[in-house]
Structure 1
Amino acid sequence: MSDTQTLIENRPPSVAALFLERVAATPDAEAFRYPVPTASGEGPADWKSLSWAQTAERVRAIAAGLVELGVQPEQRVALASATRIEWILGDLGIMCAGAATTTVYPQTNADESAYILADSGSRVLIAEDAAQLAKAREKKDELPELTHVVVIDTEGADLSEDWVLSLAELEKRGAARLEKDPDLVQEKVAAITKDQLATLIYTSGTTGRPKGVRLPHDNWSYMAKAIAATGLLTDADVQYLWLPLAHVFGKVLTSGHIEIGHITAVDGRVDKIIENLPVVQPTYMAAVPRIFEKVYNGVAAKAREGGPAKYKIFQWAAEVSREYAKASQDSFRRTGTASAPFALTAKHKVADALVYKKLREAFGGRLRACVSGSVALAPDIGYFFAGAGIHILEGYGLTETSAASFVNPGEAYRTGTVGKPLPGCEVRIADDGEILLRGPGIMEGYHGLPEKTAEVLEADGWFHTGDIGELSPDGYLRITDRKKDLFKTSGGKYVAPTEIEGQFKALCPFTSNVMVIGADRNFCTALIALDEPSILGWAKENGLVGKSYEEVIAAPVTVEFIEGHVKRLNEGLQRWQTVKKFRLLPRDLDVEHGELTPSLKLKRPVVEREYKHLIDEMYAGAREA
C-alpha cells in the first residue's frame, strides 16, 4: 500500500477529530487572520490572528453552548452568514457538538430561507446580523422545530425575546457548562461515527427548489486527507479565503486547512479582494472564473485608458503570455521541464517587466497558485494568467461529491482541463459522454428525496454528475458542457453553449455574462451583458462621455463594436455554432434577480423568461441557417 493510500484509508471518522488532533499538534501556530474594522469605520481594517489553541477555546465554547441549548447529535444547526471567521468557528462548534450544519446563503430571501430551515429540521440558526434574524422572525410560525436564533453581529438586532441570543452569550453559556463538564466536547467528538451527518448543503440549483445534499463526517475527513495528499499545499502557505462558505467549494477548503495546518486569512467581502491581496500577500487562493475575468477586464481597461500605445503594449503582452504558457505546458508534457523557444522567452522577459510584474504585485506578489472551480474558465484567460506567472489550477467537483474530485497537479497543470482525480476518486465516462464518479467523497443522498437520489446514485456507488467530458490517455479530464445545457438546433446539430460563451469572454474583455440560445431553432443567438466599468471607460473614448450604461449599450457605435467581437468569435466556430444575432442586456445578470446562482452559474431558464422579448425579437420572421 502506498503512503498516499495509507494516509487516506487511516483517516479518523470526522473533521472534528482532525481539528482536535491539529490543536494538540500545533497549539501555538497561527491558524487564522481576520479583519477588524477600525473604530471610525474609515480606512483599511486591522487584521487580527488566532492560534489553533485560541480557535479551539472558542470552538469548544460554541459546541458546549449548543449542547446547553439542547442540540443533540445529528440535529441540524443552520448558518446564515457571509464568509467571516465566526462562520468557521460556528461550523466547527456545530461539528464538535456532534450536530450537523445546514448552510444558508445570506442573500437567500425569507421564503427560501424558511424552506431550507423547515426542510432540514434545523433546531438552531446562527444568523449573521439583524437582517438574517428578521427573516427568521418573519417566518417563525412556519418553523416549529426552530428553538433559538444566535446572532453574530448584534448591531440593530432585537435580542429581547428568550429564543434570541448573541454569539457572545452562547459562548458564555458554553464556557460555564465546560467548567462543570470539562470533557464534554472531547466526549461528543469521540462519539461521532463516520456515517453521521455532518453537513446539509442545499444546492442553489439552476432549476426548481433546492435539494439538501447529505454529506456525512467521513466525506470531509476524506477530503482533508486527499487535499493534503495532492502535495499542492504545505504548512508554510497562506491562504486567502473569500469564497462563500455556504457553498461546497468554500467549505472544503476549511477541511484541507485543518489537515495541513497552514494560515488562512478570512474575509468574504468581494469588494475588498483587490484591497486585501497586497495586505494578506497570500501564497494560495481559490476563486471562481468570474474573479479572473474581472481582473483581466480591469487590466485591459486600465491599459486602454493609458492611450493607444499603452493598450497596444497590453495586447501584445497578452498574446505573448498565451503563447509562452502554451509552449511551456507543451514542453512540460513532453519532457517534464517547462521551457519555451529562445525568441519567445526574450519577448516574455520584456512583457514581464512591462505588464506581468505589476499584475503579480496586485495579487500580493507571493501567489504560487490559484485553484479555480464552480464553472469553466475560458482557456484563453487561463493561458493569459499562466504566462503572467499566476498559475490557475482548474479543479472540478459538485456539492454531491464534497467539491473536490479533480484538480490540476501543480507544475504539470494543463489549462483547459480540470486535471486528474484526487487519490481515492474513481472516474469513468458513460456511453453518452457523461462523467460518472465513485469514491469516499460522494454524498449519502438527497435529504428526504429517495427518488431523486436514485436518479443520480447507482446501487454500486457510481454518481451521475450531469456533466459531459473526455479523459486524456494519461488521465486529465476536460469538461465540455452540462448535459442539460447541451442543445440541438432544428437542423439536428448539437451545440455546447458554455464552450462558445467561454470563447467569447476571452475574445471580448468587455463581457460580464453571455448566454447562447438555439435549442430547436435554426440558428444560434446570444444575450450579452457587458462589464459596466470597462464599457463606460471605452465609451469615454468613443463619443459617449457622460452617458449612462443603458445609453451606452443602446448606442449604434457600441452595438457595432460588440458585433466586431461576435464576428471574430464566429470565425473559429462551425457553421451551425455561429452566433447570427445578439442583444445587449440593459443590466448585468446577478444573484439578486435570480439569474445567477450564488456560485455565479447561469440560471438559463430564468434568463430566458426574463428576456423572452429580446429572444423573440431575434427570431421573429428569421430564416437564417
Structure 2
Amino acid sequence: MDNLKLAKASSYVCYNPKDPVILRLDQTGDGSLEPITVPERFHQVQLSFPEMIAFKYKTRGEESRDENAIYEEPLNKPWISVTYKEYYQMCRRTARAFIFLGLESTHAVGIIGFNSPEWFYSNFGAIFAGGISTGIYTTNDPDSCLHILNDCVVDIIVVENRLQLLKILKIQDELPSLKAIIQYKGSLKQEAGEYRFKIYSWYDFIKLSSKVNDDELDKIINTLRANMCCTLLYTSGTTGTPKGVMISHDNITWTARQVAKMIKYRVCEEILLSYLPLGHVAAQIVDIYLLMDTANTLYFAHPDVYKGTIVKYLQQVRPTLFVGVPRVYEKIAEKMQEIHHRMTGAKKVITDWARIIGSDGSIALMKGKPLPCFSCLAKVLVFNKVRKALGLDRCTYFVSTGAALSHQTLTYLNSFNIPVMEVYGLNECSGPCTINHPGPGHNWAGSAGLPLIGTHVRISSHYDEFPGELCMSGRNVFMGYINKEKETNEAFNKDGWFKTGDYGKLERTETGGPFVFIKGRIRELIILSGGESVVPDDIENAIKEELKDFISNVMIVGNKKRFLAVLLAIKTEMDEANKPTDIFTPLAKAWLDSVLSPNNNITTLNVLLKSKPVELDNAIQNAINKVNEKHCEKSVYIQKWVFVPRDFSLAGGELGPTLKLRRPVVLKRYSQIIDFIYQDGNTTRSSKSISKRSS
C-alpha cells in the first residue's frame, strides 16, 4: 500500500465530515508518533499475525417464533473461530459490497445490533470504503434512530434482526439518502409494499462484493488520510439531543496504541469478552480497535448476557481483561453478597477473615507495600475460589468505566481480591482520558486515574464561567460535532483545549500522580434559590452507600428551589424484558426484614408504598442524617426524601445505554412528586406523607 500522508488542513477542528483537521502533534515523545490510518494499521497486523484467532462466536441457535424475541443460543454450542487474515478479508469484501450499493465518500453506514462479527465487518467495511461508521444503540426508538441517521447522511443501514428492521421501516420516508438495508440475523421476510431501496440478507449482501474488484477498493483506501473522519460516536443524550462526535483515523489508531502501552496489553496473549453496547466509545476502543492493534482474541457474548448469564459466559471465556460499567460490577457484588449472607459456621468465619486480609492487601498493592501476613493462605482458601466461580481466575485487569463506581462496591470487591480500577473517558476523547492500571503509582482508589500517555490535562479557571473544569489536549481529542459549528466552537476554550464539562481536580497522592478526581458534571450542578452550589454525585453515592442493601438508584433534586430533596429507588428484581418488577431483591428483602421483623407482611414494593411503617421511615431518615453530617454543609442539607414507585432502568428510560442516570427524564417523569415536595413552605414536614404520594 502507498505511504499515507496527511491531508492539507487549516484548523484543528471542523464540523463538516469532508474536512480534514490539523493533528495535535507534539515535537517529541508519544504525541509525536507517526500518524496512520485504520486500514493501514489493520493491514500491518494481519500481515504479521495472519493465523492468530481474532474472535470466536457461537453457532446460531433456532430463531424464536416470536419475531421480537431474541433467538435462543445454548451455552453448550461450539465456538467458531475467525483468524486475522479471514477477518481482514471479510472486512474488504464488506467494503466492496458497500461500494457496489453506492456508499459515497464521507456518507454513513448506520449499524444497529448487538455485538457480532457482522457488526465488526460492517464497521471496518464502511471505513475501508471511504464512508463513516455510525453505531446506534439497540435500545433507541425509531425517532431516536431518525435523528442520528439524518444527521450523518446515511446511505446504508445494517440491522441485526427483524425487530431493528421494523424500526427503520417506520421512518423510511424520512430517510432520503437511504439506498439499502442489510439484515444479518434471522430469516429475512418479504415485506409488503415497494421501497426505493433494497433489503438484503447478509449472505446476499456479501455476494455483491464480487461485482467490485480489489483494485477499485485499494484506490479508495489509498485516498484516505489519518486526519480525516472515519467514525461517528453519538453522545448518549443524557443532557440533551445526541451529538455526532467526529473521530479521525489518527484519533483511533493513536489512542489504541497509547492504551496498549499504558496498561501493558500483551500482543497475542489477551482474551476479552465482548458484551458492552458497541454504540459506546469504551466498547469500540477496547473490543474493536485495541483488539485489532494488539492481535488478541475476543469472544462474542449472546444478547441474553443482560438477563443474568454474564457469569456463565465468563466461566467459558475466562478473560484476561474485563471491562464493565458500574452497574455490572454492582450486580456482581450483589450476587456475591447474597451468597455471603447465606454463609454460616466455619465457612463464614474464614470468608470474613479473608476479606479483612483482602481489604488490607488491596491498599498495600496500591501503595506498593508488602502484602499482609497470610495473604497467600487467604488467596488459596477464598479468593481463588471466588474468582474461579466468576470466571475471572485469569483476569489481571478489571476496568470500570462509563460513570463513577460507588465506594461501597469498590471496597467490597477489593476485599475479595478483585481490584476494580476506574477509567474516565468521553466520546470526544476517543474513549479514555485518564486510566488507573495495576502497579504502585499507577492506581489510586476513588480517582479517575492518570492522564493517557502523550495527552495534556489541566484544570481551567480562566476561560470558563465555572472554575474547576477539566480540560484536555492531545491526539485523542475529537475533530468536532458533525454539522454543528456553534457547539463545536463552544466545546473548546480560547487556546484550543477541549472542555470536558466535568468538574474535577488534580492531586498528588503518596504514591505519585497527579491523579485526576472527577467531582461531577457541570451541567448537573444544582444551584439553590439562595445561591448555594451542590455537586449531586458525591451525595448520591453517599446515600447509596448508607443504604446499599435496600436502595438501587438515587437522584438529588432542588435546582432553583429552597432546599435539597432526594428521590430513592428501591432494589427490585428485573423481568425477562429487563424491566423492574414489584418484587424485592433478596438483599432488599433481608434488609427490610432486619428493620421491621422477619414476620412482616410486606412482600412487594406496592404494598410497601401503601403501608410504609414508621420503623422504615426512621431507618431511612437516620441514613439521610448521617449523609448530611458527613457530606453536606448545613445550608445544603437534604431536607426531604421520597420513594419512587419503581426502580430506574434502561427499559424505563431513566438510565442511558451505559446505565448513566438520565436526569431530565427522571425530572419529567416524576414532576408531580417533585412539585408535591416543594409545594409546602415547611421544610421540616415528615417525609412519610411525601412517600405515600409516590405510590
Does TM-score exceed 0.5, indicating one fold? yes
**Do the aligned partners of 2:528 and 2:562 also contact (CA within 8 Å) in 1?**
yes
Secondary structure of the residue that 1:397 maps to in structure 2? strand
Aligned counterparts of 1:81 and 1:263: Cα–Cα separation in 2:
21
Most deviating of 442-451 and 159-168: 159-168
Aligned counterparts of 2:452 and 2:59: Cα–Cα separation in 1:
36
Post-superposition shift, 1:571? 4.5
Aligned counterparts of 1:252 and 1:129: Cα–Cα separation in 2:
25
For 2:41, the equivalent position in structure 1 comes to 18
Query: Are 1:621 and 2:681 counterparts?
Result: yes
C-alpha distance after superposition, 1:196-221 (max 9, x if no partner) = 22112221122332111111222111
Post-superposition shift, 1:529? 1.4
2:314 maps to a residue whose letter is L
Most deviating of 345-354 and 543-552: 345-354
Aligned counterparts of 1:382 and 1:273: Cα–Cα separation in 2:
19
For 1:84, the equivalent position in structure 2 comes to 116
Select which of 367, 371, 386 maps to 2:399. 371
Most deviating of 182-191 and 364-373: 182-191
Aligned counterparts of 1:19 and 1:5: Cα–Cα separation in 2:
25
**Do the aligned partners of 1:304 and 1:310 also contact (CA within 8 Å) in 2?**
no
Query: Are 1:403 and 2:441 counterparts?
Result: no
Query: Are 1:394 and 2:422 counterparts?
Result: yes
**Do the aligned partners of 1:279 and 1:364 also contact (CA within 8 Å) in 2?**
no
Select which of 550, 556, 566 maps to 2:606. 550
Secondary structure of the residue that 2:432 maps to in structure 1? coil
Change (3 A) 1:579 1:324: farther
Unpaired segments ≥5 residues, structure 1: none
For 2:558, the equivalent position in structure 1 comes to 518
1:404 maps to a residue whose letter is P
Select which of 211, 217, 232 maps to 1:177. 211
Aligned counterparts of 1:352 and 1:578: Cα–Cα separation in 2:
46
Query: Are 1:260 and 2:294 counterparts?
Result: yes
Secondary structure of the residue that 1:58 maps to in structure 2? helix
Aligned counterparts of 2:414 and 2:551: Cα–Cα separation in 1:
21
Q: Please identify which structure carries the higher helix content.
A: 1
TM-score by length of 2: 0.82
**Do the aligned partners of 2:102 and 2:179 also contact (CA within 8 Å) in 1?**
no
Most deviating of 488-497 and 532-541: 532-541
User: What is the total number of aligned residue pairs between the two structures?
Assistant: 611
Post-superposition shift, 1:309? 9.3
Select which of 566, 576, 586 maps to 2:624. 566
Change (3 A) 1:125 1:42: closer
Aligned pairs for 1:76-225 within 5 A:
76-155=108-187, 157-158=189-190, 163-174=198-209, 176-177=210-211, 181-225=213-257
2:291 maps to a residue whose letter is H
2:146 maps to a residue whose letter is A
For 1:43, the equivalent position in structure 2 comes to 74
**Do the aligned partners of 2:362 and 2:417 also contact (CA within 8 Å) in 1?**
no
C-alpha distance after superposition, 1:410-431 (max 9, x if no partner) = 2131111111111221111011
For 1:246, the equivalent position in structure 2 comes to 279
C-alpha distance after superposition, 1:221-258 (max 9, x if no partner) = 11122112214311211112211111111111121111
Aligned counterparts of 2:27 and 2:347: Cα–Cα separation in 1:
49
Aligned counterparts of 1:37 and 1:571: Cα–Cα separation in 2:
55
Aligned pairs for 1:399-438 within 5 A:
399-411=427-439, 412-431=442-461, 432-438=467-473
**Do the aligned partners of 2:584 and 2:604 also contact (CA within 8 Å) in 1?**
no
For 1:339, the equivalent position in structure 2 comes to 370
For 1:64, the equivalent position in structure 2 comes to 96
Select which of 23, 29, 32 maps to 2:52. 29
Query: Are 1:483 and 2:522 counterparts?
Result: yes
Post-superposition shift, 1:459? 5.6
Aligned counterparts of 1:109 and 1:510: Cα–Cα separation in 2:
31
2:650 maps to a residue whose letter is V
Post-superposition shift, 1:599? 1.4
Query: Are 1:466 and 2:501 counterparts?
Result: yes
**Do the aligned partners of 2:31 and 2:475 also contact (CA within 8 Å) in 1?**
no
Change (3 A) 1:315 1:616: farther
Aligned counterparts of 2:522 and 2:402: Cα–Cα separation in 1:
16
Post-superposition shift, 1:604? 1.2
Post-superposition shift, 1:55? 1.0
**Do the aligned partners of 2:556 and 2:566 also contact (CA within 8 Å) in 1?**
yes
Aligned counterparts of 2:601 and 2:321: Cα–Cα separation in 1:
40
Aligned counterparts of 1:65 and 1:251: Cα–Cα separation in 2:
23
Post-superposition shift, 1:323? 4.2
Post-superposition shift, 1:318? 5.3
**Do the aligned partners of 2:106 and 2:229 also contact (CA within 8 Å) in 1?**
yes
Secondary structure of the residue that 2:560 maps to in structure 1? coil
**Do the aligned partners of 2:429 and 2:476 also contact (CA within 8 Å) in 1?**
yes
Secondary structure of the residue that 1:616 maps to in structure 2? helix
Select which of 289, 297, 301 maps to 2:334. 297
For 1:9, the equivalent position in structure 2 comes to 32
Aligned counterparts of 1:346 and 1:287: Cα–Cα separation in 2:
30
Post-superposition shift, 1:558? 5.0
Select which of 470, 484, 492 maps to 1:449. 484
Change (3 A) 1:43 1:256: closer
Post-superposition shift, 1:82? 1.9
Aligned counterparts of 1:301 and 1:567: Cα–Cα separation in 2:
27
**Do the aligned partners of 1:38 and 1:46 also contact (CA within 8 Å) in 2?**
no
C-alpha distance after superposition, 1:502-550 (max 9, x if no partner) = 2233331333211122333343221111221494324365335783333
1:623 maps to a residue whose letter is T
Secondary structure of the residue that 2:514 maps to in structure 1? coil
Query: Are 1:286 and 2:316 counterparts?
Result: no
2:435 maps to a residue whose letter is V
Change (3 A) 1:42 1:104: closer
Aligned counterparts of 1:157 and 1:320: Cα–Cα separation in 2:
59
For 2:667, the equivalent position in structure 1 comes to 608
C-alpha distance after superposition, 1:269-327 (max 9, x if no partner) = 32331220110000101111111111112222232344699888877765664444234
Aligned counterparts of 1:594 and 1:470: Cα–Cα separation in 2:
31
Post-superposition shift, 1:567? 4.2
Aligned counterparts of 1:74 and 1:491: Cα–Cα separation in 2:
50
